[in-house]
Structure 1
Amino acid sequence: MKQQIIDKIKEYDTIILHRHVRPDPDAYGSQGGLAEIIRATFPEKNVYTVGAEEQTLYFMRRLDQIEDSVYENALVIVCDTANQARICDQRFKLGKEVIKIDHHPNEDPYGDLLWVEEDAAACSQMIYELFKTSGGQLKINDEAARLLYAGIVSDTGRFLYPSTTIETMQCAGELMQYAFDRQELFNHLYEKDAHVLKLEGYILQHFVMDESGVAEVRLTKELLKQFGATQAETSLLVSILSGVKGIKAWVFFIEEEDQIRVRFRSKGPVINGLAMKHGGGGHALAAGASVYSWEEADQVLVDLKNLVAGQ
């Protein structure tokens, strides 16, 4: 499959890369990292990275604005996106062919070519493996290495998550040999503004955990307005409960204008099935969904408690 993808990249003069909505560093890292690899290898090709920009990730990459006509006879590659509904910029359908590269459960096998590795710690790791196993067909540059390294570090929780493997560490170690400022990158990834730190303190003071080890956090629109925090900033805080002794699984309910984002995390119980039950999806220990009332949120919490009790 990797060779088939390389062959398709060679075949097309225009290549457009997409990723999922509400992007995280792995989405940007895999999308941008692959774009830089293609540009380094085939400087004559037209390569674009598209989608709604996330301000907190400007340090990783700024994206391209292109007309619909660019998609004519173009190859589209979608990175780090499990299902079509979550692809940012639905114009991906306008391309001549579509390739899916992802590490989430393959619940929506879209595309003309699919490369899905659920065991991969990050989609950025897959992109590096595409380069590494190409036998010299692909080239990598410092910027690609920076982006892929950021994606791997972020999606592994700085190598703390169980998804981290020996191969993950080898990839990261090899990427570190390229010329980019890791300290500057870490500063961008993990430094928080004061208002976000204050919200983090609020969460640590107000999370609720029952005797079974299930915890919840509810962040209403009014509360987020009080702290001046955006949805993207609150998403960065979902993992802060991982250090709570006795916790088994937890859920963040983040209220927006038209829905309530549901963010699941687990230290053992598999929770992506529960996310799918509520219209979402994700990994075994990190998943998400959306509900549209606090009554639905109450039911999600009940379901999570029942899930943990049964495992």
Structure 2
Amino acid sequence: MLSKIMALIKAHQRIYIYRHVNPDPDAIGTQAGLVRMLRLSFPEKQIFSVGSPSSSLAWISEEMSVTNLPTVNDLVIVVDCANQARINGPLPVAPTIKIDHHPNLDPYGKEVNWVEDDVSSCAELIYKLYQTDSSELVFDLQVANDLYAGIVGDTVDFSTADTTSETFTTAAALRRLGVDVATISHQVTAINLRTSRLFGFVLNNLEVDQNGLACIIIPQGVLKSYAIAWGEEDAVVSLPGKLEEVEMWLMFIESPEGNYRVHIRSKKIPIDGIARQFNGGGHPLASGTYVDSLEEIEALIQATYQTLVGKPISELNK
């Protein structure tokens, strides 16, 4: 499979690399790292990053979007995106290669679907690609920085259940190349004063029931009152999980368009099936989707409650 990926890369003069909407450090780091590695390795080729800019992750890469879109003669690679519907940016041709670490429920890559859902981050896969053909692929400190940011972001500083010994081996290899691990870890986890006030809002308004299900709705009015730009609110998503009493949590964040971005998280029980019920997806313990109304919010809460407790809310008091 990796040989086929390399053959496709060598065979195309123009390569477009996409990632998912609402990017996290792994999406941006993987995309930026792969783009730079291919540019260094094949300077005669044109390599493009596609997607909407992310102000909160500009420290990884600000290079996004293109004027000329891919044609059937170009190579399209999508990284860190489980579902084709979540690919960010205009996509006039079908993706040729999918590189991902989420459950492969939507194998949209026409030629290759390289998916390893037991790997902690997509950035790890890009380093594995480099290792398999290090004689032809060029790797420098900036590529290492990009991939390390992706690993730290998706493992939440190496604390998630899918952080493996291979994760640490990859991180160690990147560190030997000169990665400033302290600076990158700080950048991934740092918050500003405006965001710190949102932390306070979440802790003051989070509803936690006796079974360990936590829920909160964050309206656009709250984000605007704290001058939080869309995307900056991601910093609070992991906060409920720090509470001992919480086993699962749902965070509904109103978007500028009026619908709600939903973060579904769990400490032990898989919840990706819930996300798929509502046209979303993700990892077993960290998934997400979008809903359009308060009625859908209630339905999602009901489904999550049933997953946690084993029976519907309506039967709890019988």
Scaled by the length of structure 1, the TM-score of the pair is 0.94
> How far off is 1:292 after superposition?
1.0
5 Å-filtered alignment, 1:20-169, equals: 20-68=20-68, 71=71, 73-91=73-91, 93-94=92-93, 98-111=96-109, 112-169=111-168
- Following superposition, the deviation at residue 247 of structure 1 comes to 1.6
CA–CA separation in structure 2 for the residues paired with 1:69 and 1:236: 32
Q: Per the alignment, do residues 64 and 202 of structure 1 end up closer, same or farther by CA in structure 2, a change over 3 Å counting?
A: closer
Measure, in 1, the Cα distance between the counterparts of 2:185 and 2:12: 35
Task: Give the counterpart letter for 1:238 in structure 2.
Answer: V
Partner of 2:251: 252
Write out per-residue CA displacement over residues 253-301 of structure 1, whole angstroms, 9 at most, x where no aligned residue.
1112331111101001110100110111110000001111112111211
Structure 1 gap segments, 5+ residues each: none
Change (3 A) 1:66 1:90: closer
1:262 matched to 2:262? The reply is: yes
Q: Is the 8 A contact 1:231 1:254 kept in 2?
A: no
Letter of the 2:204 partner, please give it. Answer: Q
User: Retained in 1: the 8 A contact 2:98–2:114?
Assistant: yes
Q: Deviations for 1:10-44, whole angstroms, at most 9, x for unmatched residues? A: 11111111101111110011111111111221122
Amino acid at match of 1:103: H
1:210 CA drift (Å): 0.7
SS of 1:68 mapped into structure 2: coil
Q: Is residue 16–residue 50 contact of structure 1 (8 Å, CA) maintained in 2?
A: yes
For residues 275 and 189 of structure 2, the distance between their equivalents in structure 1, rounded to whole angstroms, comes to: 27
By how many angstroms is 1:186 displaced?
2.9
The total of aligned residue pairs comes to 309
Q: Output the CA distance in 2 between the equivalents of 1:250 and 1:69.
A: 39
Match of 1:17 in 2: 17
CA displacement at 1:73 relative to structure 2: 1.9
Q: Give the TM-score taking structure 2 as reference length.
A: 0.92
Question: Is the partner of 2:203 in helix, strand or coil?
Answer: helix
Query: Counterpart of 2:53 in structure 1: which amino acid?
Result: E
Q: Following the alignment from structure 1 to structure 2, what is the Cα–Cα distance between the partners of residues 72 and 274?
A: 36
**Contact 2:52–2:64 (CA under 8 A) maintained in structure 1:** no
2: CA distance, partners of 1:305 / 1:7 = 48
CA contact (8 A) 2:53 2:65 kept: no
Residue 187 to residue 71, structure 1, CA distance change in 2 (3 Å) = farther
Deviation at 1:65, TM superposition (A): 4.3
8 Å contact 1:82–1:108 — kept in the other structure? yes
Taking the aligned partners of 2:93 and 2:64, their CA distance within structure 1 comes to 17
> SS at 1:48's partner residue?
strand
| TM-fit CA distance, 1:230 | 2.8
Asked whether the equivalents of residues 70 and 93 of structure 2 are also in contact (C-alpha less than 8 Å), the reply is no
Q: Provide the aligned C-alpha RMSD in A.
A: 1.7
Q: 1:69 to 1:186 in 2, by over 3 A?
A: closer
- 3-state DSSP of counterpart to 1:236: helix
Q: In 2 relative to 1, CA 69–309 (structure 1 residues): closer, same or farther, beyond 3 Å?
A: closer
Contact 2:157 2:185 in 1 (8 A): no
Separation in structure 2 between the aligned mates of residue 67 and residue 238 of structure 1, nearest angstrom: 33
Quote how far apart the aligned CAs of 1:130 are.
Answer: 0.8
Match of 2:175 in 1: 176
Aligned match of 2:307: 307
CA distance in 2, matches of 1:239, 1:165: 20
SS in 1 for 2:238: helix
Counting only pairs closer than 5 Å after superposition, residues 277-296 of structure 1 correspond to structure 2 as 277-296=277-296
Matched residues in 2 for 1:186 and 1:89: separation? 28
Q: CA deviation at 1:189?
A: 1.9
Quote the offset at 1:105 in angstroms.
1.2
**Structure 1 residue 94, shift from structure 2 partner:** 3.0
User: Cα 1:204–1:40, aligned 2, differ >3 Å: closer, same or farther?
Assistant: same
- The answer as to 2:272 corresponding to 1:272 is yes
Aligned residues of 1:79 and 1:100 also touching (Cα < 8 A):
yes
CA distance in 1, matches of 2:115, 2:69: 29
Cα pair distance change 1:135/1:222, threshold 3 Å: closer
- Counterpart of 2:315 in structure 1 is none
Q: CA separation in 2, counterparts of 1:129 and 1:65?
A: 26
Q: What secondary structure is seen at the aligned counterpart in 2 of 1:61?
A: coil
